[in-house]
Structure formats: structure tokens, C-alpha cells
Amino acid sequence: MYDNILNEKLMKLKENGQYREFVTLNRICGQYPLAKTNHIENENSVVVWCSNDYLGMSQNPIVIDAMHKAIDLFGAGSGGSRNIGGNHYQYKELESSLAEWHNKESALVFPTGYSSNDATLQCLLRLFENCIIFSDELNHASIINGIRSTKAECFKFKHNDTKHLEKLLSEQPYNRPKIIVFESIYSMDGDISPIKEIADLAKKYNALTYLDEVHAVGMYGPRGAGIAAGLGISDSINIIQGTMAKGIGVIGGYVTASDTIIDAIRSFASGFIFTTSLPPAIVAACYASIEYLKTSCIEREKLHSKTETLKKHFKNAGIPIMNSSESHILPVLVGDAKKCKAAAQQLLMKYNIYLQAINSPTVPIGTERFRVNITPNHSDEKMIQLTDALVEIFSLFNIPFSHSMSKTI
Ligand SMILES: Cc1ncc(COP(=O)(O)O)c(C=O)c1O
């Protein structure tokens, strides 16, 4: 009976073209963004065009060296939760570095970015009695999950719509606890939120602000500390959350805030207390990566200049980048789940290009897309290869080019 229920659900996913299939990608250290799908000799390598290792830091020799050294010194695992035996000295170093980066008093490291959002929001919403949460409608699943695991009243505001947010805020008593949660860069559309305007509203209506900078840390701001830092307004955000799995190139999540907020999360968040801490080698690698990115600008400069060049190639070839994009994330509209999946397969098989199809429920039906991310390591030649391959694939599958579209996307 149980298998039947589950098989029925899986069948529905398959029928809708939403069933997820993993592509094996064996990344080749030192040759980023190249990978091999079969791990056999003389096999052609594949060019990865949709990695969240935005700056190639996972293969940076300084990061790898820090990880090697820590493994040799401390072994593979941490040995326990932070509270019970799993608290190596590197945590203090990393948390001080993160707090300093975001201009906050304290920071707290979690095993993943997902768990940092989930556990922190759950914790704060339980601690602030009668708290209301105002959440951007396009917030990430980790944020939604954290909110849903509490009884807090939740109002979704229209994406990046400060007028709607203000209307919702103004309907609540000034002294009722409130949190506004939003992201700086939205990962599927590549757009940037009006951080200053939201922070101003928070001040006016007595709300705390929680900003997810997962797709910005490492890449934006003078020292890579994110969009809020770049705007010089980190101080007007109460809690800045980030990941060390994307721009930083390793794994792990964190929140930074005042001493009191961090102490409360450390003391009350179930998802922090009752889980094994990250291995010391991971923490050492994260620390090395962040310290490196605080002073090295070359990676982010290359990322942004190459993004502009790739955009030009796409524009000239009629490959439709969605208008929402204001960042290094380039969503390319396909608009059909089955075509998107088939086109991705063809790109891999015929052109040795890996681009993951992004279908519903991750994005709305009709806006299925490829999410293209260039990195500092993609050459001009590879950009041209990608553009040419997309042109052929769009023609083959009858996917609309930008010049044949009647409305803006
Ligand atoms: C906006 C946002 N927040 C949080 C996360 C989770 O981060 P992590 O991959 O480190 O768990 C993601 C992951 O893609 C994300 O897009």
C-alpha cells in the first residue's frame, strides 16, 4: 500500500516532466569548469555552465591547502555538536572573520545555508511571542520551511514590492514584533531587491530585517561581503545570512547579527544545537576562502566583466536572457518543460555542455529556463561555443529567439 501511494506521486512527477534526474559530473580539480560524466580515460570533458561555485574557489590552491593541512592535523570529522565535543578553534576564527566581514558583532556557523535559514527563522519566530513575519513571495525553500515550522502569522508580500510591503506593515500595531525576510539576489531570476527601501520601512514600522545574501557573498561589495555591504547599509540590516557553498566554494551556512541575537540563536535554535558541527577541515577551508576574497578582487572583477561579454554574445545571437536579470545570474527563457529537459540532454550529449533544465515547481510553468552562470574560469572561446550551441538547440527544438517574441520577458 505504501509503495503504491509513493509510486503514484512519482508517476505524476514524471508525467508533468518534473521528475528530477541527476547527471553525474566528476569535476576535474585544476581544470574548472571542466568535468567528466563517466570518470574514464580519454573521455571528452564537459563544460559546466550552471555551477554555484561562482568564483571557482572550490579549486583555489589556498583553500585546498588549508583543507589538506586541517585534515592532517585534526582528521576527517568534528566529533560532535558544537556543545558536545565538536568545537575546534577554527570556528571562533571563522565566526570572527564572518562578523567582521558583515560589520556585525557576532556570527554563527551552521552545516548548510539551508539549515541556517531554517533554524534561525524557526528559533526567532518562537522566541518573539505573537511575532508576524513578512516574507517576499519568491523567498527560498529554506526560508519558507523555517517559517512554516512555527505558528507565526505570515504575510507574503509581492516580489520586491515595497508598496505592498508597506501596506501590510501599516496594518499592524507598532509594538507587535515583526520580521521582514528577503534575499538580496534572487537565484532563479537574477534580480536584486530594494534593500535600502525595505530597511527604511523596517525602521518606520519597528520591524527586524533578515537578509539572505547567499547568491551575493564573495561576488559583490568592495570586499565581497555582499550587496548590503556594497551599498554601505549593512548596519541597517539586523541579520545577514549567507552560505559558504557558492561564492566561497566549500559548504556551510551562517548568520551574522548583534551579540544578543546570535547568543539567542546559539542558545535556543534546535537546528543548531542538535546537529554535528562541520568538520574542522571544512571550517579551515571556508576561513581561508573568505580571508582570501576579502582582499583579492580579481575573481569578482572577472566574473562581472565576463558576465557582460556573455550577455553581448547572447544578445547578438538572439538568445533570450530574461529582463529580470541584474546580476551574474543569467536566466535564459525556454518556456516549456519538456523542451527544456530535452534541450539540456542534447547540449550534454552533442556539445559536451552541461546546463541543467530549471522547470516547475522551481520556477512557474511557462517560464522554464536555463540558469547560466559564467565564472572567472570560462574562456572567450567557451562563451562562443556555448552561444553557437544554444543557437542550434533553439532552432532544433523550435524555442523562440528574442527577436521572435511578441512581449518582453
Ligand atoms: C536563496 C538561498 N538561500 C539559501 C540556500 C541554501 O544554501 P545552501 O546551498 O548552502 O544550503 C540557497 C541554495 O541554493 C538559496 O538559493
Asked whether the predicted pLDDT for residue 409 surpasses 80, the reply is: no
- Residue that the C-alpha cell 571563522 belongs to: 94
pTM of the model: 0.96
pLDDT of amino acid 16: 80
Computed over every residue of the chain, the mean pLDDT equals 96
Percent of the chain with pLDDT over 70: 99
Give the pLDDT confidence of 177-195 residue by residue, as tens digits.
Answer: 999 999 999 999 999 999 9
Residues annotated as catalytic are 246
**Closest ligand 1 atom to 186 CA:** 1
Cβ of residue 183 lying under 6 Å from some atom of ligand 1: yes
Distance 243 CA to ligand 1 centre (A): 7
Probe residue for ligand 1, chosen from 53, 110, 114 as the CB with the greatest number of ligand atoms within 8 Å: 114
Q: What is the pLDDT of residue 406?
A: 66
Q: How far apart are CA 235 and CA 102, in angstroms?
A: 9
Ligand 1, atom 9, lies closest to the CA of: 113
Mean pLDDT over 109-122 rounds to 98
234 residue type, one letter: S
Mean pLDDT of the region 37-51: 87
Structure confidence by residue, pLDDT tens digits, 298-354: 999 999 999 999 999 999 999 999 999 999 999 999 999 889 999 999 999 999 999
- 169 with 190: CB under 8 angstroms? no
What is the percent of the chain with per-residue pLDDT over 90, rounded to a whole number?
92
Which of 52, 57, 117, 214 is the best mutation target for the ligand 1 pocket, counting ligand atoms within 8 Å of the beta carbon and taking the most?
A: 214
What are 367-403's pLDDT values in tens digits? 999 999 999 999 999 999 999 999 999 999 999 999 8
> Residue 8 has which C-alpha cell?
503514484
**The pLDDT value given to residue 408:** 64
Q: Grid coordinates representing 38? A: 563517466
- 185 Cβ inside 6 Å of ligand 1: no
DSSP for residue 344: H
Decide if 397 contacts 339 (C-beta within 8 A). Answer: yes
Supply the pLDDT for residue 41: 74
Q: pLDDT digit string (tens) for 199-253? A: 999 999 999 999 999 999 999 999 999 999 999 999 999 999 999 999 999 999 9
Tell me if 215 sits within 8 A of 228, measured CB to CB.
no
Beta carbons within 8 Å of 72's beta carbon, 6+ residues apart: none
| Burial readout 57-94 (b: 16 or more C-beta within 10 A, e: otherwise) | bbbbeebbebbeebbeebeeebbeebeeebbbebbeeb
Per-residue pLDDT at 370:
97
C-alpha of residue 91 to centroid of ligand 1, in Å: 21
Tell me how far the alpha carbon of residue 49 lies from the centroid of ligand 1, in angstroms.
Answer: 18
